[in-house]
Amino acid sequence: MQKKVFRKMMGLAGLAVICLLLGASAVFAATQTAAASDAPEIVTTGIPATSGMDTLSAIFTRRSVRKYSDKPVSDATVKLLLQAAMAAPTAKNTQSWEFVVIRDKNTLAQIPSFHPFAKHIPTCQVAIVVCGNTKLEATKGHWIPDGSNAAMNILLAAHSLGLGGVWTTFYPYEDRTAGIRKLLNLPEHIMPLTIIPLGYPVEKRAYQDRFNPAKVHYEKW
Ligand SMILES: Cc1cc2nc3c(=O)[nH]c(=O)nc-3n(C[C@H](O)[C@H](O)[C@H](O)COP(=O)(O)O)c2cc1C
């Protein structure tokens, strides 16, 4: 009789331990899911994201945007734009680009003092300076097309995500280049190409049809 009670008690105790373990793992899984959904989604391998806009729509509807709302641009979005930038082609796949991300309002506010067409810069949420690294370029001068491809990818990706931006150039102006080099402590081998201010647009710019058949030459000039 005593043996029977003992066995029953052991069975109940075992059941309680199993329930406890199941409960604990459920709580652990729930906290992990909550933590994961709170964190910005940053994918480091594979294709990071897709947007609802197809490639041709992005190309044809992109316009320069110089007026931005107060809505913040998340770090995850900036990371995605940098991933888009680094998906661009480069000569011999040297990836001769470098990027400086600026959120500091004080830094942004100084740019119009040496750039005559940059008064929109201090009003953006975040800006990406696209630079070329002359120590990495395939042949002298390749940092320019390499960086330009990256900058264009940023502009198109930003537009496809509902953001606005504008190519605000440093190259080929020596005074603007000197100004941003000093402001950001850029080493001599880092060439600033353009700054792309980003934010959610408060202006809507219409599609422009710029196709001009006179610009197209077939077979020879
Ligand atoms: C190489 C280059 C340099 C540019 N520099 C500036 C600039 O310094 N400041 C500015 O506000 N916009 C600048 N822009 C933006 C052009 O003004 C703009 O792309 C052009 O007017 C066509 O308009 P869209 O971008 O809306 O199609 C530049 C664009 C390029 C490609």
Q: Closest Cα to atom 22, ligand 1: which residue?
A: 64
Q: How far are the Cα atoms of 12, 44, 202 from residue 52, in angstroms, in the given order?
A: 55, 21, 20
Is the minimum distance from the CB of 166 to ligand 1 under 6 angstroms? yes
Report CA-CA distances (Å) from 81 to 73, 77, 84, 157, 175. 11, 6, 5, 6, 28
End-to-end CA gap in the chain: 107
Atom 27 (ligand 1) nearest CA: 63
Q: How many separate helices (H) and strands (E) can be counted in the chain?
A: 6, 5
pTM: 0.84
Averaged confidence pLDDT in the chain: 88
Among 120, 124, 169, name the best residue to mutate to test ligand 1's pocket (greatest count of ligand atoms within 8 A of Cβ). 169
With a 6 Å cutoff on the Cβ, whether 167 touches ligand 1 is yes
Task: Give the containing element (helix H, strand E) for 35.
Answer: helix 2-38
Kindly report the backbone phi and psi dihedral angles of residue 153, in degrees, each rounded to the nearest multiple of 5, phi listed first. Answer: -60, -40
**Which numbered atom of ligand 1 lies nearest the CA of 115?**
8
pLDDT by 10s per residue, the chain, length 221: 455 655 665 555 555 545 444 444 444 444 333 333 444 466 767 888 998 899 999 999 999 999 999 999 999 999 999 999 999 999 999 999 999 999 999 999 999 999 999 999 999 999 999 999 999 999 999 999 999 999 999 999 999 999 999 999 999 999 999 999 999 999 999 999 999 999 999 988 999 999 999 999 999 99
Ligand 1 centroid – CA 126 distance (Å): 18
169 in ligand 1 pocket by Cβ < 6 Å? yes
Crossing angle for the helix pair 75-85 and 143-160, nearest 10 degrees?
A: 140
63 within ligand 1 shell (Cβ under 6 A): yes
Probe target for ligand 1 pocket from 59, 60, 62, 64, with the most ligand atoms within 8 Å of CB: 64
CB of 168 sitting under 6 A from ligand 1: yes
The 3-class secondary structure across 160-200, one letter per residue, is HCCCEECCEECCCCHHHHHHHHHHHCCCCCEEEEEEEEEEC
- Ligand 1 centroid–CA 65 distance in Å is 10
